[in-house]
Amino acid sequence: MAIKIYTTPTCSHCNAAKKYFRENRISFTEYNVARDMRRADEMVKKSGQMGVPVIDVNGKVIVGFNRPELERALKRA
């Protein structure tokens, strides 16, 4: 399972999503879009959004920390 999360350091929803992953022992790759413009562009192309977090679960893109949608995507992965 490949999980990518696009974040910024001050985003409380990003921190909540990362905490959820850690508590559930789900590995993920984090990209700080405040520092990495290439990843920021990638995030916008995937989601059509500039807001964070953007979570990519095996190609299923979720904007924001939408826990029910995230859990559905994790079950399908």
Mean predicted lDDT score pLDDT of the chain? 96
Burial of 3 (0-12, 13-18, 19+ CB in 10 A): buried
pTM of the model: 0.94
The band of 1, judged by pLDDT with boundaries at 50, 70 and 90, is confident
The band of 77, judged by pLDDT with boundaries at 50, 70 and 90, is confident
Determine whether domain 3-76 maps to CATH 3.40.30.10.
yes
Chain segment 4-40, per-residue pLDDT in tens: 999 999 999 999 999 999 999 999 999 999 999 999 9
The percent of residues in the chain predicted with pLDDT above 70, rounded, is 100
Q: Which two tokens stand for residue 36?
A: 């990495």
* Rounded distance between C-alpha atoms, residue 15 and residue 17, angstroms: 5
Name, in order, each residue with C-beta under 8 angstroms of 9's C-beta and a sequence gap of 6 or more: 32, 34
